[in-house]
Structure 1
């Protein structure tokens, strides 16, 4: 069982959402016209692959966690989009995937082996293709006043691991940053979903927390009660796509 196996039930609905406006803005900015072929690396439950599917001719998602791949296939079927999800590591699959106009990477750069992954990206990205490093997170500028309390609960007993900065990942490779596309959204949801968000993370997964899950849920309800209105929390989320292209591309 992989590190993310026990997070599958929470990942799709509890992570900060990208939102339809994000996918539309990226597609508009980059000129997606339903003729593009897109690859999603570390697809998880298919959030990016499914979101971009209406703007592309073909979308392929790869993920090394079989349970995530199954969740992504189910989500794609519910969404009514045709996305192919493949179980396996991108570095090992690249030779058989073909070439793509776009490659998306969500919160997965730190799971990739930099040397082999850069070589594989050079293989699968077309000469004029782009890499989109995407993430969505609750804004930390005071507009989400509950965020500090959430982080305090999240960090209790958390199994932290070093992060691999995207600039370090791309250093020495053929791809360079070309700008960032950002979209903000706001939505209300039950406080309990923030406990689910903690369980969606590999560093605080149900497998890791074990018997401490009920205590975590109780602590979350207590810590966020004063920020909720009728049990609902307002979450302002910024979704971003950092665009990388080949050096020298005109």
Structure 2
């Protein structure tokens, strides 16, 4: 069982959402069209793959966790989305997938081994293609007044996390950053869903917490009670795509 297997039940519904406006904004800005082939690396439950599918001609999602691929298939069926889903490491599958006009990497870049991943991306991304490193997260500028308290509680149950950012990942490789695209959306986030969010992360998964899950839920509920109205807080989420192009094309 992979490190994300026990997070599957919580991942799609509890992580900060990208939102429909993010997908339409990115697709418009980058001129996605019906001929665009898009590969979603580390697709998980298919959030990016399914979100971009209406704007592309073909979308392929790849993930090494079987349970995540099954969750993505269920979501694709529910959304009537014609996304092709493949179980495996994209580095191992690169030779059989063809080339893509866009490759998306969501909340997965810190899990990739840089050298083989960069080599795979070099072969997968078409000469004029793009890489989008995407994330959706609560804004950290103080507008989410409850966030510091949430993080303090979560950190009590949090294990170690790989310390690798995207600048380090791309350093010395064939791709350089061209631009950033971001969209903010306001949501109502029930406290129970925020507890599920803790469980959606591999460093604080149900498998890792075991019998401590009820204690975590109780501690988070007590800590966030003063910020909540009718059991929920207002959450401002920034969805962002960092766009990378082949070196020499970034000013084009």
What is the CA–CA distance in structure 1 between the aligned matches of 2:84 and 2:6, rounded to whole Å? 23
Deviations 1:107-144 (A, max 9, x none): 11111111111110000100000000000100011111
- In the TM superposition, residue 161 of structure 1 has moved relative to its aligned partner by 2.1
What is the CA–CA distance in structure 2 between the aligned matches of 1:216 and 1:222, rounded to whole Å? 10
What is the CA–CA distance in structure 1 between the aligned matches of 2:142 and 2:113, rounded to whole Å? 36
Listed as ranges, the matches of 1:1-250 within 5 Å are 1-249=1-249, 250=252
Q: Secondary structure at the match of 1:155?
A: helix
Instruction: Tell me the C-alpha RMSD between the 2 structures.
Output: 0.7
What is the CA–CA distance in structure 1 between the aligned matches of 2:13 and 2:40, rounded to whole Å? 19
Structure 1 runs (4+) deviating above 6 angstroms are none
What is the CA–CA distance in structure 2 between the aligned matches of 1:58 and 1:41, rounded to whole Å? 14
Deviations 1:84-128 (A, max 9, x none): 111101111111000000000001111111111111000010000
What is the CA–CA distance in structure 2 between the aligned matches of 1:184 and 1:131, rounded to whole Å? 21
Aligned length: 250
What is the CA–CA distance in structure 1 between the aligned matches of 2:21 and 2:171, rounded to whole Å? 31
What is the CA–CA distance in structure 2 between the aligned matches of 1:112 and 1:93, rounded to whole Å? 14
User: Bigger shift: 165-174 or 49-58?
Assistant: 165-174
- In the TM superposition, residue 158 of structure 1 has moved relative to its aligned partner by 1.2
User: Bigger shift: 101-110 or 153-162?
Assistant: 153-162
What is the CA–CA distance in structure 2 between the aligned matches of 1:194 and 1:208, rounded to whole Å? 17
- In the TM superposition, residue 157 of structure 1 has moved relative to its aligned partner by 3.1
- In the TM superposition, residue 34 of structure 1 has moved relative to its aligned partner by 2.1
Structure 1 portions without partners, runs of 5+:
none
Q: What TM-score does the superposition give when structure 1 sets the normalisation length?
A: 0.99
**Is the Cα contact below 8 Å between 2:139 and 2:237 reproduced in 1?**
yes
What is the CA–CA distance in structure 2 between the aligned matches of 1:2 and 1:147, rounded to whole Å? 29
Structure 2 portions without partners, runs of 5+:
none
User: Bigger shift: 131-140 or 108-117?
Assistant: 108-117
What is the CA–CA distance in structure 1 between the aligned matches of 2:190 and 2:221, rounded to whole Å? 10
